[in-house]
Amino acid sequence: MRLIPRDTKFFDMFVEIAGNVVEGAQVLSDLLNNYDYEQMPKSVQKIKEIEHRGDDMTHKVFIKLNQTFITPIDREDIHLLTSSLDDVLDFINGASDRLLTYKITQPSPSAKILAGFILKQAIELKKAVSLLGKDHHLLEHCVEVNRLENEADQISREAIGRLFEGGYDPITLIKLKELLEVLEEATDKAEDVANVLESVVVKNA
């Protein structure tokens, strides 16, 4: 029995942030799978708004962290988990922003595949976060996030190799290559979140 109850509101805030990441990943996946260059700026703006919302959520966690005496998990883990989730959304936003900035008229097919991996990872992370402090089965979702990252890494390497064989002009090649790299980095950031969650479970077992 704890004499001072621990504030578990943080867990609800994590789920909210993870849900926002899923929303951003869904918009990106839909954008790349049904690519319409004329409508693309609207989707990019929507992702930017989701990213700004995520920044606000992150800020609220940090404010609450500074105001809370006893936390449900280590303070540094709360900070790291929040920041890591925010990083995923930052790279989702970064990928969509490059579509607009670089005026990419047609992304490579592998960009669609990578966006799908990001969405799957985001969904797994939300499931994992929702089990935080409740069920160690959340580790199964972390394992799946790591598996997806490994597969995405392989697809990204092969796709970049194909770009150099595709007869693109140098400028287009650079644009498409950077888009793939940012998408792959988003899958890396999702894996970082999974690693933080695994650490939290081990430390609080």
Burial class (CB in 10 A: 0-12, 13-18, 19+), 79: middle
Q: Are 8 and 68 in contact (CB under 8 A)?
A: no
Residue 19, domain member (yes or no): yes
- Containing structural domain, residue 75: 9-203
Asked if residue 191 belongs to a domain, the reply is: yes
Residue 4 lies in a domain: no
Written as tens digits, the pLDDT of the chain (205 aa) is 343 345 579 999 999 999 999 999 999 999 999 999 999 999 999 999 999 999 999 999 999 999 888 888 999 999 999 999 999 999 999 999 999 999 999 999 999 999 999 999 999 999 999 999 887 789 999 999 999 999 999 999 999 999 998 788 999 999 999 999 999 999 999 999 999 999 999 888 7
Whether pTM > 0.75 for this model: the answer is: yes
Residue 2 belongs to some domain of the structure: no
Q: Residue 94 corresponds to which tokens in the numbers above?
A: 């970064």
CATH of the domain at 78: 1.20.58.220
In a domain, 52, yes or no: yes
Q: Would residue 24 count as lying in a domain?
A: yes
Cβ within 8 Å of residue 2, ≥6 positions away: none
How many separate domains does the chain show?
1
